Every structure is written in structure tokens, then in C-alpha cells.
Amino acid sequence: MDLLAAEGLEAVSMRRVAQALETGPASLYAHVANKEELHELMVDHVLDFGPIPEPDPDRWVEQAKELLRGNVRALTSFPGIAKIAWTIQVPVGANALQQAEALLAVLRAGGLDLRRALFAADALWLYTKAFAYEGAGWQHGDINLAEQEQRGERMVEYMASFPPGTFPNLLRSGEYFTAETAQERFEFAIDLFLRGLT
């Protein structure tokens, strides 16, 4: 994780990790099959971020939100982690499984049957991973801020070139899609989703 924090995801290869551990790649392969498995273990490592709540039927919505917020913090804590998480179809690490079971238990405490809880958890995880992936890009410098600013300016100019009134809502949307509103937008989405389950 130190190598990831210091040099980014591209630096995390089997050879570089072996060097950091003062061993050879062959020794590392005795424990980890390949770079993809190593990356998945890194994601699982960050998902060990705190106690799992005891499901409470009176607090299930807030408990679900706390779990999802914790996952966003974990996935954005190191460069590249959210990107890796996005590519893992079914995480099977111990911490990932504990997070999944915790969310399912909280949703079940809210009165959802297993089928609805599974479908809800799947949608919530997808949104959480996507939000973390985008946020990590901004947070860790994967997104060129100057380039994005220029792109935004070009988009506004393009939409403004249409007859007046063509895109009145979109032309005003920029103020609502900023780094300052990111957490508010995340909270809005998960609240909307969770409240819609009852």
C-alpha cells in the first residue's frame, strides 16, 4: 500500500512489490497468483475500515448510508483503488464479503426480503463504486482539471449557440455539478434510493 500511495497504481507490479518486500517475484507468486489478484487484495485491504453495525430496524436507512459512505472513503483512500474496484465483478475477499453481508443484513432489518435486498445492494454498490471512481479521479489527479475546465467552457459555448431557450436547464446546471456539491449529490442519490425501498 505504501508503494501505491507513493507512486500510484501503475507502479504496483509483482516485481516492484517483491522489491519493496526485499524478496524475489517468485516468492511473491507463492502467495499471489498474478497482478490482478494482488490488486483485488489491495481493494479488500482498504475495505477493512471499521466495525460492522448490528442491524437495527429503527436505524436501517442511516446504517446503510454509513456503510456506503465508508466504502466511498475506503475506495478513494489510495490512488487507483476505486478503478480496480470498478473492474471487479464479484469481490470475494473477506472484507468485501463482510461489507456485502453487512449491507444485506441492514436492508433485511429494514423489512426487505432477500431478493429485494440483493437487488438493492447490487444497485447501491454499483452507484457507490461509480461515485468513488469518479471522485478518486479528481482527488488523486487522474483527471486533468485544466482540461476539464476547458471542456466545460466549450460545452457551454456549444449549447449557447443554439436558439435561446433550447437548453435553459442544462445551461444553468454547471453551478450544481462542482466538487463542492459532490457529497450532497451522493447523499441525495442514496437517500432517494433507500427511501424508495420502503
Distance between CA atoms of 82 and 3, rounded to whole angstroms? Answer: 16
Q: Does 131 have pLDDT greater than 80?
A: yes
Q: Identify whether 43 is part of a domain.
A: no
Does 15 reside within a domain?
no
**pLDDT tens, residue by residue, 41-56:** 999 999 998 889 999 9
How distant, in Å, are the alpha carbons of 74, 93, 133, 153, 184 from that of 85?
11, 12, 8, 31, 23
The grid coordinates listed for 80 are 487507483
**Per-residue model confidence as pLDDT tens digits over 73-86:** 999 999 999 999 99
Most confident of 25-39, 65-79, 126-140: 65-79
Q: Is 114 within the bounds of a domain? A: yes
Q: Which of 88, 79, 6, 5 is nearest to 41 (CA)?
A: 88
Nearest to 129 by CA among 166, 101, 89: 89
Query: Whole-model pTM?
Result: 0.86
The string of pLDDT tens digits covering residues 94-108 is: 999 999 999 999 999
CATH of the domain at 159: 1.10.357.10
- Please check whether residue 9 lies inside any domain of the structure: no
Range of the domain at 63: 52-196
CA angle 110, 111, 112 (to 5 degrees): 100
Q: Is residue 91 part of a domain?
A: yes
- Number of structural domains, the chain? 1
pLDDT of residue 126: 96
Contact between residue 197 and residue 120 where contact means Cβ atoms under 8 Å apart: yes
